[in-house]
């Protein structure tokens, strides 16, 4: 891995957009009530506003300490105890990867193609991701630019192909009676904001207008989410309650010209998206390991992380043992808020106090 890597703000937020859309496409009844998606458009707007506020502590922390990432800040503030912060983030990113790949494996096994070996598919995707993570963030940023274009094009094709199947009467307006469903969807969306803890490491590596990029990222993610939810509810109607992976279901319904089904095409597109997210988060794990154990251990952690997530996600997707604990949205929410909001906010406040005490200005 290179010691000094840079990427543009555009490349950074394209990677993060892809990473979040991979999560959105595997929205499942395993983690929440899919019926609450009927009010998902309203929930998307609320979640977007909350996400804007969640972005502030990370940006604040970085600005108050010479553009350093969260682990650099932690070592600056807490000295050797900063290793505990690096460990928390490393374990969080590992959990996110296992969670994401497990959902993807379950979707492929139960909804897309039951005859597909999820182990072989995971091994192939993670193997490619390990190589990309080893090459570094610059190479991944370049690859993400192309995959971003493909994913956006695929979304546009999907939406337009679903229009003939949609019925506006299947949608329901929000009301106070639906507030519980709305807040459940908001809670789920916020819990899966793992891209914000990732920004605590990646923003210092990016050049360009980061404020504008972050705003465009949040707006793009939740606009895409709102449009997809609207189309899902308009197409599926009452059948929504019976679907395990509603996004995949509508891709199977969609057709375009001589192409009768688009589910196979979209499985390939989302697999490419999985490659980006896995590569990015394995890279982030290696950054945490490097801060604790050094560069050699960081390189080794890339391979070890790949092996761990393949075998653990394959085991989880085939059993119900630790299934509920791993996919517990409440736990995910706690750790997302800890790594995305609380730790950066604490570090930023300490940075401010230290500078005031030393008579310096930010």
Q: Evaluate whether residue 293 is within a structural domain.
A: yes
pLDDT single digits (tens) 151-202:
898 888 888 888 888 888 878 777 667 788 888 889 988 999 999 999 999 9
Query: What's the pLDDT at 263?
Result: 64
Residues 327, 317 contacting (CB under 8 angstroms): no
Query: What's the pLDDT at 118?
Result: 72
E-assigned strands of 90-249? 206-207
Residues 193, 335 contacting (CB under 8 angstroms): no
Q: Evaluate whether residue 90 is within a structural domain.
A: yes
E-assigned strands of the chain? 7-8, 206-207
Query: What's the pLDDT at 261?
Result: 60
Q: Predicted confidence band at 258 (pLDDT cuts at 50, 70, 90)?
A: very low
Q: Which domain holds residue 329?
A: 7-357
Q: Evaluate whether residue 1 is within a structural domain.
A: no
How many domains would you assign to the chain? 1
Question: Does 113 have pLDDT greater than 70?
Answer: no
Pick from 87, 102, 13, 123: nearest CA to 326: 102
Query: What's the pLDDT at 49?
Result: 96
Q: Evaluate whether residue 122 is within a structural domain.
A: yes
Q: Evaluate whether residue 2 is within a structural domain.
A: no
Residues 47, 195 contacting (CB under 8 angstroms): no
pTM score: 0.90
Q: CATH number for the domain including 112?
A: 1.20.1740.10
pLDDT, average across residues 310-325: 68
Q: Evaluate whether residue 256 is within a structural domain.
A: yes
β-strand partners of 8: 207
Task: Using a pLDDT cut of 70, give the percent of the chain over it.
Answer: 86
Residues 181, 36 contacting (CB under 8 angstroms): yes
Question: Does 136 have pLDDT greater than 60?
Answer: yes
pLDDT single digits (tens) 297-311:
999 999 999 999 988
Query: What's the pLDDT at 60?
Result: 93
Q: Evaluate whether residue 240 is within a structural domain.
A: yes
Rounded distance, CA 125 to CA 123, Å? 6
Q: How big is the chain, counted in residues?
A: 362
Q: Evaluate whether residue 362 is within a structural domain.
A: no
Question: Does 33 have pLDDT greater than 70?
Answer: no
Q: Predicted confidence band at 30 (pLDDT cuts at 50, 70, 90)?
A: low
Residues 77, 347 contacting (CB under 8 angstroms): yes
Rounded distance, CA 28 to CA 107, Å? 9
Buried b (16+ CB within 10 A) or exposed e, 270-303: bbbbbbbbbbbbbbbbbbbbbbbeeeeebeebbb
- Tell me the pLDDT of the chain averaged across its residues: 84
Cα–Cα distance list, 272 to 23, 58, 129, 222, 289 (Å): 13, 28, 10, 21, 26
Chain-centroid distance, C-alpha 66: 27
Pick from 225, 224, 258, 253: nearest CA to 237: 253
pLDDT, average across residues 62-90: 89
Rounded distance, CA 75 to CA 290, Å? 13
pLDDT, average across residues 35-56: 89
Q: Predicted confidence band at 78 (pLDDT cuts at 50, 70, 90)?
A: confident
* Range ranked top by mean pLDDT from 145-149, 233-237, 262-266: 145-149
Query: What's the pLDDT at 323?
Result: 56
Rounded distance, CA 125 to CA 106, Å? 15
């Amino acid at each position: 891995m290179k010691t000094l890597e840079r990427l543009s703000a555009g490349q950074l937020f394209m990677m993060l957009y892809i990473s979040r859309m991979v999560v959105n496409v595997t929205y499942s009844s395993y983690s929440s009530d899919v019926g609450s998606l009927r009010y998902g458009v309203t929930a998307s707007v609320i979640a977007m506003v909350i996400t804007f506020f969640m972005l502030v502590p990370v940006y604040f922390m970085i600005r108050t300490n010479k553009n350093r990432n969260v682990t650099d800040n932690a070592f600056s503030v807490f000295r050797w105890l900063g290793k505990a912060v690096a460990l928390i983030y490393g374990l969080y990113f590992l959990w996110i990867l296992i969670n994401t790949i497990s959902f993807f494996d379950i979707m492929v096994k139960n909804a897309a193609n039951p005859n597909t070996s999820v182990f072989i598919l995971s091994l192939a995707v993670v193997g490619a991701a390990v190589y990309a993570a080893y090459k570094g963030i610059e190479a991944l940023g370049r690859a993400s630019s192309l995959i971003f274009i493909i994913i956006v094009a695929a979304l546009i094709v999907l939406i337009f192909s679903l229009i003939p199947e949609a019925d506006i009467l299947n949608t329901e307006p929000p009301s106070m009676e639906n507030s519980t469903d709305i807040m459940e969807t908001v809670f789920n969306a916020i819990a899966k904001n793992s891209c914000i803890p990732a920004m605590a490491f990646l923003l210092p590596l990016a050049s360009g207008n980061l404020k504008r990029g972050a705003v465009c990222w949040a707006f793009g993610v939740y606009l895409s989410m709102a449009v997809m939810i609207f189309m899902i509810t308009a197409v599926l109607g009452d059948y929504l309650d019976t679907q395990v992976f509603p996004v995949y279901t509508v891709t199977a319904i969609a057709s375009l010209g001589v192409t009768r089904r688009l589910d196979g095409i979209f499985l390939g597109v989302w697999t490419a998206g999985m490659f980006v997210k896995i590569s990015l988060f394995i890279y982030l794990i290696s950054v945490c390991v490097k801060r604790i154990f050094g560069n050699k251990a960081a390189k080794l952690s890339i391979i070890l992380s790949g092996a761990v997530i393949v075998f653990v996600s394959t085991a989880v997707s085939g059993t119900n043992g630790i299934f509920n604990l791993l996919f517990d949205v409440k736990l995910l929410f706690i750790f997302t808020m800890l790594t995305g909001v609380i730790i950066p906010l604490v570090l930023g406040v300490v940075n401010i106090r230290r500078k005031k005490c030393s008579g310096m200005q930010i």
